[in-house]
Amino acid sequence: MNTNHKSQKRQLRVLTAIPKLKRAIAEIRARGETIALVPTMGALHEGHLSLVRLAAKRADRVIVSIFVNPTQFAPHEDLNTYPRTFAADQAALEETATDIIWAPSVATMYPEGFATRVVPEGAATVGLEDKFRPHFFAGVATVVAKLLIQCEPDVALFGEKDYQQLKVVTQLARDLSLPTKIVAGPIIREPDGLALSSRNRYLSPPERATAPVLHRVLKECAAAIAAGKPLGSALRHGRETITKTGFALDYLEARDAETLVPVGTSSSGKIRLLVAARIGTTRLIDNVGV
């Protein structure tokens, strides 16, 4: 890794056109430097910034993409109201080691006549997010494949917050022979346990007060399972608590931590507990390891 640049002042560049991005990447490569990519939809918070810090440790140059990807939203979902806070995002990234913000328009990513989709299987079809958001993973896989091809990173950072997505993207990079190493970052939480999310700003004060129940239940379930309680009764109790608290539960599941297939007993390999639930109009997801 070339460390000369660390003494130079970084200049954060905002790029929106593919030829300019390719030119910037060619300059970086000509200096023999490595590149890390952090894909985001903006509305940046500490979870995103933690990935940027990991990225800076893994490569000489950091690209953060900001793109609210329409193809991963269903028509009834929150594409139009999804928070767009570009000026604040840029200001936050100025304080980090980011070199380039890659902020393409929808027309740049999906020009007139765009007709290709990457449709993942495996971890993308295990009946978790895919069951409740059937559009989601083809949209994610298509945009992530494009971002990885556009930015040519050596490493790309994804949060464990979106655990199923992390598994899908890892498989995608492997299956498409992309030369990028996918690296996971841990979930960053509020002091009360709520996982940071761009969607948390939708929560009313009472909803915000209730939201940490999800993490509390995950932790309690994980502890009970680790202590030998049967999976079925631990999950049943967890589902009851979540529902009684006022959430509409989509799922609380125990899955194999690698393949995300259902686990029958607590004695199989590593287990991940994953939850998705709606409070008011906001849908929250979270997960923990057992």
Using alpha carbons only, how large is the chain's radius of gyration in Å? 20
Chosen residue from 104, 120, 139, 185 binding ligand AMP by CB under 6 A: 185
In the region spanning residues 146 to 175, those forming contacts with ligand AMP, defined by CB under 6 A, are: 158-159, 161-162
Question: For residue 58, what are the contacts with CB-CB under 8 A and spacing of at least 6?
Answer: 34, 36, 154, 155, 157, 183
Nearest approach in angstroms of CB 44 to ligand AMP is 8
Cα separation values, 84 from 27, 60, 139, 170, Å: 30, 28, 19, 27
Q: Which amino acid is at 73?
A: F
Nearest approach in angstroms of CB 167 to ligand AMP is 12
CA 149 to mean position of chain CA atoms: 18
Of residues 97 and 224, the one with the C-beta less far from ligand AMP? 97
Of residues 128 and 224, the one with the C-beta less far from ligand AMP? 128
CA 121 to mean position of chain CA atoms: 18
Q: Is residue 198 involved in binding ligand AMP (CB under 6 A)?
A: yes
State the Cα–Cα distance between residues 163 and 219, nearest whole angstrom.
Answer: 16
Nearest approach in angstroms of CB 49 to ligand AMP is 9
Tokens of 50: 């933690």
CA 153 to mean position of chain CA atoms: 17
Nearest approach in angstroms of CB 43 to ligand AMP is 7
In the region spanning residues 43 to 82, those forming contacts with ligand AMP, defined by CB under 6 A, are: 47-48, 50-51
Q: Is residue 133 involved in binding ligand AMP (CB under 6 A)?
A: no
Nearest approach in angstroms of CB 281 to ligand AMP is 17
Contact 222, 273 (CB under 8 A): yes
Q: Of the listed pieces 76-84, 129-137, 188-196, 233-241, which binds ligand AMP according to CB under 6 A? A: 188-196
Nearest approach in angstroms of CB 154 to ligand AMP is 17
B/e letters for 65-84, b = 16+ CB within 10 Å, e = fewer, are bbbbbebbbeeeeeeeebbe
Chosen residue from 92, 100, 147, 187 binding ligand AMP by CB under 6 A: 187
Q: Is residue 142 involved in binding ligand AMP (CB under 6 A)?
A: no
Using Cβ positions, the residue closest to ligand AMP within the complex turns out to be: 159
Chosen residue from 15, 93, 141, 196 binding ligand AMP by CB under 6 A: 196
Q: Mind giving me the DSSP string for 134-158?
A: TTHHHHHHHHHHHHHHHH--SEEEE
Tokens of 156: 């790309």
215 is catalytic: no
Q: Is residue 90 involved in binding ligand AMP (CB under 6 A)?
A: no
Q: Is residue 130 involved in binding ligand AMP (CB under 6 A)?
A: no
Chosen residue from 20, 22, 41, 77 binding ligand AMP by CB under 6 A: 41
Question: For residue 25, what are the contacts with CB-CB under 8 A and spacing of at least 6?
Answer: 35, 151, 152
Catalytic residues: 48
What residues make contact with ligand AMP under the rule CB under 6 A?
A: 40-41, 47-48, 50-51, 158-159, 161-162, 185, 187-188, 195-198
